[in-house]
Structure 1
Amino acid sequence: MASKKLATQMSTKRPQKESSKKRLWKHMDAETTLLESSAFRWTVRIFGYTAMLYAAIVVLNTGPSGHEPLSPEYLNELVASLKSPALIAGISLPLLGLIASHLRSIQTKVQIETQQQQNTFSNYLAHRGQFNEFMQEEEPLKNISTISKWTLYGLLFPKAEDGNFEISPTLVSLFQSLPKRIENLRHDLESAKYNNRSMQAQIEKKIKDMEWDLREFTHADFSCDLNKEMFLCIQDKRIEKQIACIGALYECANFHSAQLEDSLLWEIQEKYVYCKTTISPQSMRERLLIWISNAAFPKGLQPESEGEREQELKGKLLYENRCKGGNDREIVIIDEIAEVIKDNFDEEQLHTINRILPPVINIYLNNANTSALEHKRELDDQRQDGNTSES
């Protein structure tokens, strides 16, 4: 109980001591008036009391002058004796002037800082408003990401509230590093084949690393709903999504002023185009291989009848042909189909494949094979004629 009382007494005494210190000395700030300033008050007190005390001592120690009180002689003598106390009091005047000047400088500094803060906040609101208008009009992330525009704004301009509207250094570093990373990816894609998965892990890692960095700013979903067996096709789609993200980030970062160079964006897009040019032929052959394999040799849940599988394969092949500029009568992907069949199926499997392929495809394949045989015979005849002439 005694300890509790002691603690209570100490807790009640501390605020009193603190408040007494505050009453004893008050620091100057922008809200303090000159008369409220402790420096002003104590200067007046020290020099005023000192001068009054000195004057009292002088008056008390001054003997009778022999002049009548209030006579000119008496007053002159009194004034002469009080010069020193008046001098002491006068010394306080320049000090009081310095204190007043210092207080005015503090108030001016606070006013300038307040004005700067207001200007910074006004610029911040104006910048946000322009970004909002840009996002509503342009919609650069449409069909790419559902990230909030204000979340994106905070990621792109992390110091905007402080009046610094420079884009994130992380984004600048990302853009500067992409050309070399994309070039390394292209080298791996050149070594990748549609029917060889030896480079799969290496390609997957590099694409995922770039997606991770892009996801930091866009929160984009790079997943693909394609068949997992179509590895190159999936990577092709992911590269397309990355190209779209890069373009959107570039537009958002440069909506107010050009902070990312155009040449850097062009270099990145050029590298991505090289990747697309490299992977597209292989990804198409991969699709053809999987479609033909699933139609001729079904696995799991597939259409029961061979006719249904043939119709499904026909639709896919003709759609791919139209994407490459052909039509139902002109098959422009016949060389790729022939290459896929030749490289991946043996003689026994060819009978099943020929039966499942659409008639128009078989006709083109037969014509291609006939042309190849005739070309081979011509080459053989030319060799024989050459050997005969030499002999």
Structure 2
Amino acid sequence: MQAVTTIGFDIAKSVFQVHGVDTVGQVIIRRQLKRRQVIGFFQKLPACLVGIEACASSHYWSRELQALGHNVRLMPPAYVRPYVKRQKNDMADAEAICEAVTRANMRFVPTKTAEQQSGLMLHRTRHLFMRQQTSVINAIRAHLAEFGIVAPVGRRGVEELLRVVADPSDKRLPEIVRACLAALGSQLLSLKKQILDFDRMIMAWHRSNQTSKRLNCIPGVGPLLSTALVASVADPKTFRSGRNFSAWIGLVPKQNSSGGRDKLGSISKQGDRYLRGLFVAGAFAVIRYAKIHGTKHRPWLTALLARRHTKVAAIALANKLARMAWAMMATGERYNYPASLKV
């Protein structure tokens, strides 16, 4: 019996499935492992190719198995799914992973470092608190509207509503309602403080990272987006071009081409939604600034705004910003300002 050379490793929370084959594709290992058995099992194996779907905890297991000498490759689950034969279960998934990892045209996901995952957790936690803040504000507005109390949109409007809640002399609110709204107001203040703390942590990380500081020079790319890019992109050279990177974010048009006829639709919106949202927000900021201060130094944007709607122009500009960010990350170059701004 030959030694195992390729393993498909289907990971989960507590039960893992292993499918191993030799050089000719003969099945050598097909077994189930508990979480505590995984490290010991791979320690006994000779160095081999291990395929894992890029999902929850996959980067951790990739780092652990690489430390044992194995060649670990992470793959998007959507690219592994076509290799699953008939019924889906852990055994079939591990077999499909084992087959997919050997394909020459398979696309792989670089393993993130612990520092990059820490940065992503920082961003995701802040984003969660931002959504919770919006939810609490909407709840306060909706509850007070039931009693005929409304305020203008914006931060000052919410502060005005909270002053009404804190005023015991205002008899429009029953005591039970006032108590509930006071609790929501307290939660809102706590969320704002936590978001501010996370903003300070992101800024500190941004100042300590050279790549993030270089990306921050791109118009529309601030510390939030630049640190998110550093945390999300383990190896920019994984992408062949800026267009591939932009497609990974979901900023390129969908294609429905056939017979030599190219048909392009709206953007695909596939990939990292968080990065896509930050790029689009940055593009809108550039357009707002250009409309106020003029666009003479950006002829491309001037021509685009002249013939397209602002939202369409923002998506096109976000696509352009993403390509510039990739080029700077892949080559290590700095942002080149337009010649008109250097005068």
- Normalising by the smaller structure, the TM-score range is under 0.3
- Where is the strand percentage greater, Structure 1 or Structure 2? 2
TM-score by length of 1: 0.24
- Where is the helix percentage greater, Structure 1 or Structure 2? 1
Which entry has the higher C-alpha Rg, 1 or 2? 1
